[in-house]
């Protein structure tokens, strides 16, 4: 059967938000997730960089902090996602898909593997042989972790997502045990592709995301506060 008879491809709005404070992006996600409860919403992908920040997963321990919770070197947030502590900073590309998994598969493990696959295909386009590690979430080259993944799904609507170290200053990771894994290093795409930019990797992420989730990406039209200028 030729492509003529294929069902219409799904659409996903993509937002390049640039540098945005963590709390602002978090609030934007919550706004759009709550809208899914009120009316049908398009799937969305937010791509963003954050000023330096630490985030703790919902049930994560503070034992993985090498600083006092009351006196962090950068802002510290406890958020709804799974997983342990992580660090966001400039030079790291963060992707927040807000998808209705009822349009895909209502399976959290499937969704986590799809996010890993997006990053693996992105890195493959740069000739970086990235893989998964059995029993661990994220994307690795050997024993070096290039991308962390932590999600929250409620009523099959996703939030939070993946963080890919493109060309960040990795020193901020030294103040934590990243994702609670003490014996493995954190690395970046720039170690394999000197001079790589977040924008270049962002373009590859969009291609991979479109292929893995079998969706067409369109530029988002909502304002950055989550309001839609068309309404």
Q: What pLDDT does residue 132 have?
A: 96
Q: What pLDDT does residue 72 have?
A: 96
What are the tokens at 89? 């900073």
Count of domains forming the chain: 1
Q: What pLDDT does residue 59 have?
A: 87
What are the tokens at 119? 């990053």
Q: Establish whether 89 is a catalytic residue.
A: no
Catalytic residue of the set 12, 89, 167, 179: 179
Q: Is residue 3 part of a domain?
A: no
Give the pairing type, strands 157-165 and 92-98: antiparallel
DSSP 8: P
Q: What pLDDT does residue 18 have?
A: 97
CA distances from 23 to 28, 52, 78, 83, 126 (A): 9, 12, 11, 18, 31
Question: Where are the strands (E) in the chain, listed by range?
Answer: 10-19, 43-49, 53-56, 76-78, 86-88, 92-98, 131-133, 136-141, 144-154, 157-165, 185-186, 215-219
Q: Is residue 188 part of a domain?
A: yes
Q: Is residue 215 part of a domain?
A: yes
Task: Note whether 211 and 121 are within 8 A (CB).
Answer: yes
Q: Is residue 5 part of a domain?
A: no
Q: Is residue 184 part of a domain?
A: yes
Q: What pLDDT does residue 125 have?
A: 98
CA distances from 179 to 25, 62, 154, 217 (A): 21, 11, 22, 30
Q: Is residue 155 part of a domain?
A: yes
Domain that holds residue 167: 10-219
Q: Is residue 4 part of a domain?
A: no
Task: Note whether 54 and 69 are within 8 A (CB).
Answer: no
The CATH number covering residue 31 comes to 3.30.930.10
Q: What pLDDT does residue 225 have?
A: 62
d(CA 27, CA 36): 15
d(CA 173, CA 40): 39
Task: Note whether 32 and 98 are within 8 A (CB).
Answer: yes
Q: Is 187 helix (H, G, I), strand (E, B) or coil?
A: coil
Q: What pLDDT does residue 1 have?
A: 46
DSSP 34: H
Q: What pLDDT does residue 228 have?
A: 55
- The alpha-helical segments, DSSP class H, found in the chain are 22-38, 108-124, 198-213
Q: Is residue 174 part of a domain?
A: yes
Q: What pLDDT does residue 139 have?
A: 97
Q: What pLDDT does residue 224 have?
A: 58
Q: Tens of pLDDT along the chain (231 residues)?
A: 444 445 557 899 999 999 999 999 999 999 999 999 999 999 999 999 999 999 999 989 999 999 999 999 999 999 999 889 999 999 999 999 999 999 999 999 999 999 999 999 999 999 999 999 999 999 999 999 999 999 999 999 999 999 999 999 999 999 999 888 888 899 999 999 999 999 999 999 999 999 999 999 999 987 756 665 443
């Amino acid at each position: 059967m030729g492509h003529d008879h294929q069902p219409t491809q799904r659409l996903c709005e993509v937002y390049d938000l640039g540098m945005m404070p963590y709390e602002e992006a978090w609030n934007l996600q919550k706004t759009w997730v709550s809208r899914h409860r009120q009316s049908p919403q398009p799937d969305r992908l937010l791509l963003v960089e954050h000023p330096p920040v630490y985030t703790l997963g919902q049930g994560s321990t503070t034992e993985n902090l090498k600083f006092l919770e009351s006196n962090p070197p950068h802002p510290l947030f406890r958020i709804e996602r799974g997983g342990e502590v992580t660090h966001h900073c400039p030079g790291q590309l963060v992707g927040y898909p807000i998808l209705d998994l009822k349009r895909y598969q209502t399976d959290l493990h499937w969704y986590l593997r799809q996010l890993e696959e997006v990053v693996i295909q992105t890195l493959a386009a740069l000739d970086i042989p990235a893989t998964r590690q059995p029993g661990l979430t994220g994307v690795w080259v050997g024993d070096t972790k290039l991308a962390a993944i932590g999600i929250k799904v409620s009523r099959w609507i996703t939030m939070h997502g993946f963080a890919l170290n493109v060309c960040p200053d990795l020193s901020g990771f030294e103040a934590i045990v990243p994702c609670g894994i003490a014996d493995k290093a954190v690395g970046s795409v720039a170690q394999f592709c000197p001079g790589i930019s977040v924008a270049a990797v962002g373009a590859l992420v969009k291609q991979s995301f479109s292929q893995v989730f079998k969706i067409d990406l369109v530029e988002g039209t909502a304002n950055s506060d989550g309001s839609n200028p068309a309404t």
